[in-house]
Amino acid sequence: MSKRMILSLLTAVLSLGTVMADNIDEMMKSMTLEEKARLLVGVADEDYEPGTAGHQKQFVYGAAGVTYAIPRLGIPSTLSCDGPAGVHIDSVRPGDSRRYFATGFPIASCLAGTWNAELVENVGKAMGNETLEYGCDIILGPGMNIHRNPLCGRNFEYYSEDPYVTGVIGTALVKGIQSQGVGACPKHYAVNSQETERFSVDEQVSERALHEIYLRGFEKMVREAHPWCIMSAYNRVNGVYAQCNKLLLTDILRDDWGFNGIVMTDWIGKRADLPVEEAVKSGNDLMMPGYPVQIEDILAAVKDGRLPMADLDRSVRRMLEFIVKTPRYKNYRFSESPDRAAHAAITRQAGTEGMVLLKNNGALPMATTGKDTIALFGVNSYDFLSGGVGSGCVNVEKVVDMVSGLKAQGIATTPTLTDIYQKYVQYARVKLMVDKNPLMWFLDQGQPKLDEIEITERCIRHEAQEASAAIITIARQAGEGIDRQIDGEFTLTDLEQTMIQRVSDVFHEQNKPVIVVINSGSVIETVSWRDKVDAILMAWQPGQEGGNAVADVLTGKVSPSGKLTMTWPVSVYDHWSTRNFPQDYDMYSYQRLRQRNRPIKGITYTNHEEGIYVGYRYFDTYKKQVAYPFGFGLSYTTFAYSRPNVKLRNDVLTVSVTVTNTGKTAGKEVVQVYVHAPEGGMDKPEKELRAFAKTRLLQAGEKETLTMEIRKSDLASWSEASHGWEVASGDYDVMVAANANDVRGTATVKIK
């Protein structure tokens, strides 16, 4: 009998006195105070080094966290693993020749870019299945913070600038994950709007913006998907740490929204300025990854009355109610071999459907006569980025690059250029391993971006002779703990601009098209160069099948149907929020400033001065030019919309519109429904997204009628006078649109 079988037999015998959902009361009575305190603190590895967040070596190597076991009571340890793009565990285990790869799914912004809740739920099912089969009980995702500003380092892990899109997509993913019998842990609750000084920055936000923008997505997801867990954010919200913020964790999350799971902290140890009893009292049940000193602190707080026994018991009960739901409690015999081939197909479909065609003057789809050869520029064409870096990365077996993806669909790449880049990638990877900045610990987690190389005009001319077109990949990498710079990260580097200029000059001389593929989880500047090229595809970081998904779109195997879930500004300075966002921040020089212990804008505090005017709510209302509007995305075909039909019955607006494929190829269309509220009363955005739907694949000439519902309560704005939601009476303009700047039809309805 194998060691593991003996262990599971032992566990089964021991669990005879199991923690059954119906005898938790008895269990609590028999727990010692020490056991109760231990249950609220994770069990980090003894040799846990701060900064290796999400890395422990018990049970499943590389999983993020472990909770305390009490065998005599049948309470097993439970396990959580990252992250929003798939199961983050080590692929290597000491003394084990087998590799443990997980599937790299598309990053959050790409999933949201599909505007397809059903597809995202399927991704959630696959993600949940891998969580289960690799022996974990919770996956620490989705990330549901708002894209307040393009410079935030973790935007790739979040869905949108809009709370409604965030809520719909987050709900779909959580439902998918939890349908597999494991828990989701949406994060980072709340207002984790930047990475700069994320452990301590005070996110100052008006009550209205907090409810309408930063909490609205979480609210929809909690009410409709009932997550097992929620992760409180590192930062403060209006002066109070999220992890001891009673307003957020109890008054709103539990009393208003009805959340009945557990709240765990983000991965941090004892905080000198945050007594652990304050966390427990406010509704934060579990301290992760957990240090022994935190157990001592809980015991001391109980003993001297700072932590009432009732508060301790409340969290213990929540932990037990959570534990009895977990696969580990149920002794689920996980296989460690999920169906990764099937999941690869799902990730490819989602990645393909999330891509957004930003420009196309007819160069796409590319002809695939079988004899086509492409000149493929840009380092990341050959080192394609599956996802971001940090806890949100996934250790995948292989990332399909553009060469492989194109080749699989009958498109070859010019051999000399391919050889140059492939040899450079090998060299650059080796060099990076010794060159990388040890402070950038998360660079070990995921694919760092290799520096671009210069390709001379002479080389470009040589390649152009045998190529029918050029593709240039522009890539960006980002991750937790650090925000993006403006120069060379939001904007292109001189080298990238030169590459686009040279390739365009040479290929256009020969009437050959130039296509740019953007392999990034974040928005970049486009206006300064987009007129030089024939087509631009935002490929995001679409998961491990990246090159295949890009080829699916470039060859027309799949007509692009993704749309932007965040505004692409002309300049990053056009965002109102940029005035209050840390820029070109150097965390090392800041140490000196910290000694002065005085408020520093964007560092010790960030004032969300723009209030609700985030993204299109700002650009649309203040009539600001944008590069690409919220909701924008081209297809290879065209669509016509009928006049919308809007009916109000029993406080529900039903909006229906018929979409016709008026082009020559099949495609899917995302219809957005925006609502303009009646004038007067509170200031309101010009319009707000209140519903959306996506057609099935429509063949040329086919049509489909989409019907969407908007509850009257969905039209509410948050009143700071009454501290509650208010729906103004009057005429509401209901618009069906292809994007925020392309309204196709309007109907007006009176609401009392």
**Between 391 and 519, whose beta carbon lies closer to ligand GLC?**
391
**Between 483 and 620, whose beta carbon lies closer to ligand GLC?**
483
**Between 76 and 392, whose beta carbon lies closer to ligand GLC?**
392
Residues of this chain, 154-213, that bind ligand GLC according to CB under 6 A: 187
Least distance from ligand GLC to the Cβ atom of residue 266, Å:
5
User: To which residue do tokens 């001391």 refer?
Assistant: 300
Q: Which of 189, 267, 641, 732 is close enough to bind ligand GLC by CB under 6 A? A: 267
Least distance from ligand GLC to the Cβ atom of residue 185, Å:
8
**Between 53 and 107, whose beta carbon lies closer to ligand GLC?**
53
Residues of this chain, 364-393, that bind ligand GLC according to CB under 6 A: 391
Q: Which of 133, 195, 266, 489 is close enough to bind ligand GLC by CB under 6 A? A: 266
User: To which residue do tokens 């980002």 refer?
Assistant: 478
Contacts of 553 (CB under 8 A, 6+ apart): 352, 355, 357, 364, 365, 537, 539, 559, 560
User: Contact between 521 and ligand GLC (CB under 6 A)?
Assistant: no
**Between 62 and 365, whose beta carbon lies closer to ligand GLC?**
62
* Token code pair at residue 72: 């005599």
Picking from 254, 225, 333, 315, the residue whose alpha carbon sits closest to that of residue 9 is 333
- b/e 554-579 (16+ beta carbons within 10 angstroms → b): bbbebbbbbbbbbbbbbebebbbbbe
Least distance from ligand GLC to the Cβ atom of residue 95, Å:
25
* Number of amino acids touching ligand GLC (CB under 6 A): 11
Picking from 590, 618, 732, 594, the residue whose alpha carbon sits closest to that of residue 674 is 732
Cα 104 from Cα 81, distance rounded (Å): 14
Q: Specify which residues 514 forms β-bridges with.
A: 470
Least distance from ligand GLC to the Cβ atom of residue 61, Å:
14
Relative to beta strand 469-475, strand 372-377 is parallel
Phi, psi of 222 (to 5 degrees): -65, -45
User: Contact between 54 and ligand GLC (CB under 6 A)?
Assistant: yes
* Token code pair at residue 467: 């190529």
Q: Which of 27, 39, 44, 53 is close enough to bind ligand GLC by CB under 6 A? A: 53
User: Contact between 610 and ligand GLC (CB under 6 A)?
Assistant: no
- b/e 432-455 (16+ beta carbons within 10 angstroms → b): eeeeeeeeebbbebbbbbbebbeb
**Between 186 and 560, whose beta carbon lies closer to ligand GLC?**
186
Least distance from ligand GLC to the Cβ atom of residue 55, Å:
8
Relative to beta strand 202-204, strand 236-237 is parallel
Residue 335: CB atoms within 10 Å? 11
Residues of this chain, 475-494, that bind ligand GLC according to CB under 6 A: 480
- DSSP assignment of 193-206: ---TTTTT-EEE--
Phi, psi of 287 (to 5 degrees): -100, 120
**Between 174 and 400, whose beta carbon lies closer to ligand GLC?**
174
Least distance from ligand GLC to the Cβ atom of residue 480, Å:
5
H or E element at residue 682 = none
Least distance from ligand GLC to the Cβ atom of residue 268, Å:
8
Residues of this chain, 67-86, that bind ligand GLC according to CB under 6 A: 82-83
How are the residues of the chain apportioned to helix, strand and coil, as percentages rounded to the nearest 5?
A: 35, 20, 45
Cα 127 from Cα 346, distance rounded (Å): 10
202: annotated active-site residue: no
H or E element at residue 38 = helix 33-39
Task: List the x/- string, 434-473, binding to ligand GLC by CB under 6 A.
Answer: ----------------------------------------
**Between 388 and 644, whose beta carbon lies closer to ligand GLC?**
388
* Cross-sheet strand order for the sheet of 688-694: 688-694, 670-676, 730-739, 742-751
Cα 448 from Cα 393, distance rounded (Å): 11
Secondary structure of 423-472 as H, E, C letters:
HHHHHHHHHHHHHCCCCCHHHHCCCCCCCCCCCCHHHHHHHHCCCCEEEE
Closest residue to ligand GLC, based on beta-carbon distance: 54
Contacts of 105 (CB under 8 A, 6+ apart): 85, 86, 111, 123, 126, 127, 343, 346, 347, 350, 387, 394, 543
**Between 232 and 567, whose beta carbon lies closer to ligand GLC?**
232
**Between 290 and 338, whose beta carbon lies closer to ligand GLC?**
290
Least distance from ligand GLC to the Cβ atom of residue 113, Å:
21
Task: List the x/- string, 116-155, binding to ligand GLC by CB under 6 A.
Answer: ------------------------x---------------
Least distance from ligand GLC to the Cβ atom of residue 229, Å:
11
Q: Which of 19, 64, 535, 626 is close enough to bind ligand GLC by CB under 6 A? A: 64
Residues of this chain, 210-249, that bind ligand GLC according to CB under 6 A: none
Least distance from ligand GLC to the Cβ atom of residue 391, Å:
3
* Cross-sheet strand order for the sheet of 605-607: 240-241, 236-237, 202-204, 605-607
Q: Cis link prior to 142 (omega < 30° from 0)?
A: yes
Cα 153 from Cα 439, distance rounded (Å): 16
Question: Are the C-beta atoms of 610 and 577 separated by less than 8 Å?
Answer: yes
Question: Are the C-beta atoms of 415 and 125 separated by less than 8 Å?
Answer: no
* Coil, strand or helix at 678: coil
Q: Considering Cα of 507, then 508, then 512, then 513, what sign does the dihedral take?
A: positive
**Between 65 and 275, whose beta carbon lies closer to ligand GLC?**
65
Residues of this chain, 83-112, that bind ligand GLC according to CB under 6 A: 83
Least distance from ligand GLC to the Cβ atom of residue 582, Å:
17
Least distance from ligand GLC to the Cβ atom of residue 398, Å:
24
Least distance from ligand GLC to the Cβ atom of residue 463, Å:
42
**Between 82 and 383, whose beta carbon lies closer to ligand GLC?**
82
Which one of the listed residues 82, 202, 266, 383 is annotated catalytic?
266
**Between 12 and 439, whose beta carbon lies closer to ligand GLC?**
439
Footprint of ligand GLC on this chain (CB under 6 A)? 53-54, 64, 82-83, 140, 187, 266-267, 391, 480
Catalytic residue annotation: 266
